């Protein structure tokens, strides 16, 4: 599939289309060893060899970034004055069109997937595809088995919202922490679930998306690109 050179380079996030055109005018862009004279020329990004200022340009149709979201950051692409998850992405990884594939509350921490692949994001967020998200929840008091079984059976909230059954397990060696897996992403879902059984959440961290765990080497606020193999651990679409 042929794509415009200026659009493709600008999509990487490091250059604007205006900057690409300026580099072309200066003779700083080569495609397959030939100097480019028109920024809007069409090329096959999968096969073309591109040099920008003498440096190879590695084409990626989409990017997938694992971020360890800290508390106090908004899960959005932009949010006025508040810091967003996209703001935490370093320039070397940032691209136009990045967004969080699924949101975490401002006070929730852990695994956020950032991508510019809208179709993939839609598929992993759709409940019908049953892509589980795993959370570590710290509760107010030690949960009793009856309340956990209510969550496992599928809860109906006071407003009539019906939730699919959740997988809930106690964390050995702790009194108030549980691991919970859900494949939905309704508004404040986990907090509302535990509030409904009389045991409010005091802290919440997402640890997995699908079978992919948050990289323990990432400090809060840090991120890295994930490999194709890791992406398939989230969902093999």
Task: Judge whether 117 counts as a catalytic residue.
Answer: no
Place of tokens 């570590």: 136
Concatenate the DSSP letters of all residues of 32-77 into one string: TTEE---TT-EE-TTT--EEETTEE----S--EEEEEEPTT-BSSS
Whether the CB-CB separation of 190 and 102 falls below 8 Å is answered with no
Which of 40, 44, 87, 105 is catalytic? The answer is 105
Q: What is the DSSP string of 82-101?
A: S-BTGGGS-TTT--TT-EES
Tokens 């059976």 sit on residue: 153
Q: Which of 189, 210, 168, 237 is nearest to 66 (CA)?
A: 210
Q: What residues are annotated to the active site? A: 105
């Amino acid at each position: 599939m042929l794509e415009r050179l200026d659009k493709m380079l600008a999509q990487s996030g490091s250059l604007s289309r205006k900057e690409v055109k300026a580099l072309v005018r200066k003779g700083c862009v080569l495609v397959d060893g030939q100097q480019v004279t028109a920024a809007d020329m069409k090329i096959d990004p999968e096969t073309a060899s591109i040099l920008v200022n003498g440096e190879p340009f590695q084409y990626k149709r989409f990017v997938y970034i694992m971020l360890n979201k800290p508390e106090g950051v908004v899960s959005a692409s932009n949010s006025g004055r508040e810091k967003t998850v996209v703001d935490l992405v370093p320039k070397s990884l940032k691209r136009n069109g990045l967004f969080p594939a699924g949101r975490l509350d401002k006070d929730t921490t852990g695994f956020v997937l950032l991508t510019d692949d809208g179709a993939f994001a839609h598929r992993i967020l759709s409940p019908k595809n049953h892509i589980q998200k795993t959370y570590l929840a710290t509760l107010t008091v030690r949960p009793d088995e009856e309340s956990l079984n209510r969550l496992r059976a599928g809860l109906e909230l006071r407003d009539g919202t019906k939730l699919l059954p959740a997988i809930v397990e106690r964390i050995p060696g702790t009194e108030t922490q549980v691991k919970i897996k859900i494949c939905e992403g309704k508004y404040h879902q986990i907090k509302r679930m535990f509030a409904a059984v009389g045991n409010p959440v005091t802290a919440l961290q997402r640890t997995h998306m699908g079978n992919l765990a948050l990289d323990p080497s990432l400090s809060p606020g840090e991120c890295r690109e994930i490999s194709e193999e890791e992406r398939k651990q989230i969902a093999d679409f």
